[in-house]
Structure 1
Amino acid sequence: MTQLRKKVLEELERRNYSQATANAYVAAIRRFAEYFRRSPDQLGSEHVRQYQLHLVQERKLEPKSVMVQMAALRFLYLKVLRRSYSRDDIPLPRVSRRRIPIVLSTDEVRRLIDAAPNLRYRTILMTLYDTGMRRAELCQLRPEHIDKERMTVRIPHGKGDKAREVPLSLQLLEQLRTYYRSLPRRNGWMFPSLASKRANDPITDKVVWHACHESTRRAGITKPVHPHTLRHSFATHMLDHGAELPVIQVLLGHEDPRDTMIYLHLSTRKLKAAPSPLEMFDVATQSGPEPAAS
């Protein structure tokens, strides 16, 4: 471990950043250093500007992805290296926060899970969909977080390090039992890493991404599916089946209720309940020949 990486990790821990944020920041700083092939402490704000343009113009990343990269570099230069930069020296792109997400139908979710190529991927997909948890939360899941007496799953370190509980279905409980009994080696994590170099660690979020990508391909689903798609589908289907927004907000761990209200745009129950303007008055349906081309 380099001295700079050690300082970054210590500063993240001192400020009580989540493990997911720490991983994202360290990875972003590493990519920045690799781009210039120099240590970040030898680079400055002009290099940050060049790198941000590279992300936008050449790699064509979404603003949200660029924002994570820039937030990591802000943390590095302002908090760790104590450079006297203003926040405008490392600007964050403007992000549209509440775009309507893509969701799967219940049939597409079934096809996705059935197409999983192995027991581990099937269990990952079922856990994501049945609990609505984030991929980082799934990676940090431990067996003791599964409460079979109360039929709940405890998520002790959600976004913002906030704990919450979500219901555990009997079907998911049986799936988790079957999967856990099949493990050739256990290391205290529900989903342990199978890499020999990471024998004591949980899976990385890359494994979760690959489970979604490979199962989507095998299922023949043309929609872009990523781990968060199952979270969106969980919330939308809950709303379709009568769950109220405040309940869904608690299950998702949303602090701002406006983040939960986006699912009103996706719920077929709510959409079907909206009256059709044409049905508010009688309009006769006409039939006859097509008009002649002019």
Structure 2
Amino acid sequence: MLKSKRKTPFDIFFKHTVYGLRYLYRIFDRTESRVILPSIERQKALPVVLSQQEVRLLLKTPKLLKHRLMMALLYGWGLRNYELCNLKLVHLDLERAQPHIQQGKGRKDRYVPVCDLLIRGVKTYLQAEKPVEYLFNGQADKEGGFTGISTRGVQWVMRQARQHSGIKKQITAHTLRHSYATHLLEMGTDIITLKDLLGHGHIETTLIYLHVARVSRALPFSPLEKLYPQ
């Protein structure tokens, strides 16, 4: 009602009103089952995507093989940050070139294809670093057991690579996943196959990449280009 009654409702005004009401109900111990508050829709911003040249630049920036491989897997397998952190040696299956990504978002398992270049990189890393249990080991737990690298550790690697590469775009680990999806579309992968590779539960989630990929359509242009041809 608040948004519908106002002629020009600002989302920020609506958001703070809902937050204030929720806080008020908690103070007076009134559960939301008695007074239902509307949900706040997230803004559907398009993802940041790197060009293929920017991906190549980013991947060669880190000095450590471990850090280069981490980013190569985020991009080459389209992994989420926590999926990379949870990746264990038993999941790799390098002989069949079909890594098993377990318990992704929505508890969905999936297999992803892998190229020979990544297989060689993983094997070189395994021989040099000799990780135990997890592909990328983090700090030991209180009982001395092995754990995977933390998501914060992965983001630190991404920040360092961005700073040293000179790329100005805002880059996170998920940017490489966005770039993976967009580049596959541009290379001819159909949207249904891409949905399965990304482990999406709903096709609507995958469709957003159609807005950023340059596939089978004329590139947008300004009408001024037609008024004043070069």
TM-score, normalisation: structure 2: 0.78
Partner residue of 2:105 out of 148, 151, 159: 159
Distance 1:87 1:162, change over 3 A: farther
Moved more, 86-95 or 186-195: 86-95
Q: Could you tell me which residue of structure 1 aligns to residue 132 of structure 2?
A: 187
- 1:118-267 paired onto structure 2 within 5 Å: 118-183=64-129, 186-194=131-139, 199-267=145-213
Q: From the two aligned structures, give the one with the greater helix fraction.
A: 1
User: What letter matches 2:211 in structure 1?
Assistant: H
User: What letter matches 2:45 in structure 1?
Assistant: R
Q: Which has the higher contact order (CA 8 A, sep 6+)?
A: 2
Q: Percent identity?
A: 31
Distance 1:278 1:133, change over 3 A: same
Contact 1:119 1:179 in 2 (8 A): yes
User: What letter matches 1:109 in structure 2?
Assistant: V
Q: Could you tell me which residue of structure 2 aligns to residue 39 of structure 1?
A: none
4+ residue runs over 4 A deviation? 87-93, 194-199, 274-279
- 1:259-278 paired onto structure 2 within 5 Å: 259-270=205-216, 273-274=218-219
User: What letter matches 1:252 in structure 2?
Assistant: L
Distance 1:97 1:160, change over 3 A: farther
Contact 2:46 2:208 in 1 (8 A): yes
Runs of 5+ consecutive residues of structure 1 not aligned to the other structure:
1-55, 57-62, 64-69, 71-76, 78-82, 288-294
Q: Could you tell me which residue of structure 2 aligns to residue 108 of structure 1?
A: 54
Contact 1:192 1:201 in 2 (8 A): yes
Runs of 5+ consecutive residues of structure 2 not aligned to the other structure:
1-11, 16-21
Distance 1:211 1:277, change over 3 A: closer
User: What letter matches 1:160 in structure 2?
Assistant: G
Contact 2:141 2:147 in 1 (8 A): no
Q: CA deviation at 1:125?
A: 0.1
Q: CA deviation at 1:273?
A: 2.9
Q: CA deviation at 1:187?
A: 2.8
C-alpha distance in structure 1 between counterparts of 2:138 and 2:116, whole Å: 26
